[in-house]
Amino acid sequence: MRALISVWDKTGVVDFATRLSGLGWEIVSSGGTAAALAEAGVPVLAVEDVTGSPEMLDGRVKTLHPRIHGGILADRSKPAHLASLAEHGIAAIDLVVCNLYPFRSDPGPELIDIGGPAMVRAAAKNHGDEGGGVGVVVDPADYEAVLEELAESGATGESGAGGLSAATRRRLARAAFAHTAAYDAAIVNWLDKPAAGDAAGVAGAGESPEPAPLPPTVHLALERVDECRYGENPHHLGARYRPAGEPTWWDHAYQHSGLALSYLNYFDADAAWRIVHDLGEAEGSSAVVIVKHANPCGAAAGDDLADVYQRAYDCDARSAFGGIVAFNKIVDLDTVERIEAAAQADLIIAPGYEDGVVERLQAKRRNTRVLEAPRPDEAGVSLRQINGGWLVQSPHTFASAPEDWQVVTQRKPTASELADARFAWRVCGHVMSNAIVLARDRTAWGIGAGQQNRVESGQLAAAKADGRAAGGACASDAFYPFGDGVEAAAEAGVAVVVQPGGALRDDDVIARANDLGLAMLFTGERQFRH
């Protein structure tokens, strides 16, 4: 029996080939793989000795030859195929071991593999012949299981009998097509990015770049990396997937203690981690965000992390119980004292912890999941599945800068009121619509989320703030259609309202704000979130 081995990732390949050769298999190989096997003393037949043709074009053409692909694609159950092999003097290839050039490591034409995918797809296509289909291995993790099954089945080069079971060949074929599909998806995604000099993304001095258009096709290739006990509810299955072959920040996060991460832990921690970094960068300071069901229930910023945590927790201490607490700075001993005194969190995530902090959390909060994580990855396009398709949009951003906001009322905000408005607007952009945020002194004292009308979101925010945002700011994620929204803000005691503007009755809303003595800012952008 003959195996063709040609791999870029040579992890374990020498041991695999050595043991395969020990079973009596003839091994054909090419290029660097052949050299590595020969150096290790594994008997190897070079591809050029099989094809009668040398490698061409700097190695671009090696295995693309009828004597290779005929040996892989011949259906052993068809006498005509076997006769054709005999007529042309082609030996059948029973096992293909191949993984592809690492395109994602340095995307470009020279790392677009051609011969590798052709071999892999040919072997996977021909996996199903019950009389002896072709096996294909693309993952070194499968080497041991393949060797064990070949040894147990008696599939030796001398016997010509046995081999991998039909079930195993089918499993390996699926992995092979997933491997090539993910590879092609990575190439398409690279080609979707603007090349240097393309119009999209290129701007002159002082100009904003034009956004790249959404691609005409979207190709998702995901691999399962973590299985959850269940999904959103116990009767749902759940798991975390990532782009195939592309580790994300989650893969570099370290869990110090606590229970295994659940589906909802992943979902809510992702939201908290993105929000706390965005808020911290916007404020240029320490930030703490507490999230429950993907919505912030507490958010604060400032210089002293312990004080920032305490204010974030005090925003809504009842909702903070069992929530996700995210820090954008290393958690110190002063802060952990505040955490110990507060209600238990389900998960704490930070870029690091001072010596002794993790041990105290482990002792006091045994079940709390304590994560240390790098920065979140840069956001790509947003995908959301609907029944019968997907919705795709560009990543969530804040389009306008505070210096571009328009003061539309007779009273202008003071410097401190403007700072409150900036903070409230930033938090509001991360709250599910309809969203109202009441803030003062870099603290979101009242967050009204997810109500079907804006007035009730404002009333909910006011009830949570309970007067603590007096003299501060009210942010609304969309325009106020009527004056009742600013009336609710005035009742909460704020001094300035920030909203997108753009309603048919903007003039009436502005007039009502003037009557109430409020300052009002128009951002010119909506921040709906669903």
Selecting among 10, 219, 293, 329, the annotated active-site residue is: 293
Query: Pairing relation of β-strands 324-327 and 347-350?
Result: parallel
Can you tell me the distance from the alpha carbon of 7 to that of 22, in angstroms, rounded to the nearest whole number? 20
Active-site annotation holds for 125: yes
CA dihedral 243, 244, 249, 254 (to 10 degrees): 140
Whose tokens are 């052949």? That residue is 34
Encoded amino acid at 360, one letter: R
Joined tokens for residue 372 = 């240390």
CA–CA distances in Å: residue 363 to residues 354, 368, 475: 16, 10, 40
Whose tokens are 């969309």? That residue is 478
Cis peptide leading into 328, omega within 30 of 0?
A: no
Q: Give, in degrees to the nearest 5, the angle at Cα 101 between 99 and 104.
A: 115
Count CB-CB contacts under 10 A for residue 456.
Answer: 14
How buried is 407 (Cβ within 10 angstroms: 0-12 exposed, 13-18 middle, 19+ buried)? middle
With contact defined as beta carbons under 8 Å apart, do 408 and 510 qualify? yes
Count CB-CB contacts under 10 A for residue 433.
Answer: 20
Q: Give, in degrees to the nearest 5, the angle at Cα 361 between 360 and 362.
A: 90
Selecting among 125, 219, 256, 277, the annotated active-site residue is: 125
**DSSP, res 330:** -
CA–CA distances in Å: residue 183 to residues 73, 111, 168, 194: 22, 11, 23, 19
Q: How many CA atoms lie within 13 A of 463 on its CB side?
A: 8
Active-site annotation holds for 10: no
Can you tell me the distance from the alpha carbon of 500 to that of 510, in angstroms, rounded to the nearest whole number? 12
CA–CA distances in Å: residue 245 to residues 6, 104, 476: 19, 8, 41
Which residues, other chains included, contact 66 with Cβ-Cβ below 8 Å and sequence gap of 6+?
88, 90
Q: Read off φ and ψ for residue 389, nearest 5 degrees.
A: 165, -160
Q: Which residues carry out catalysis?
A: 125, 293
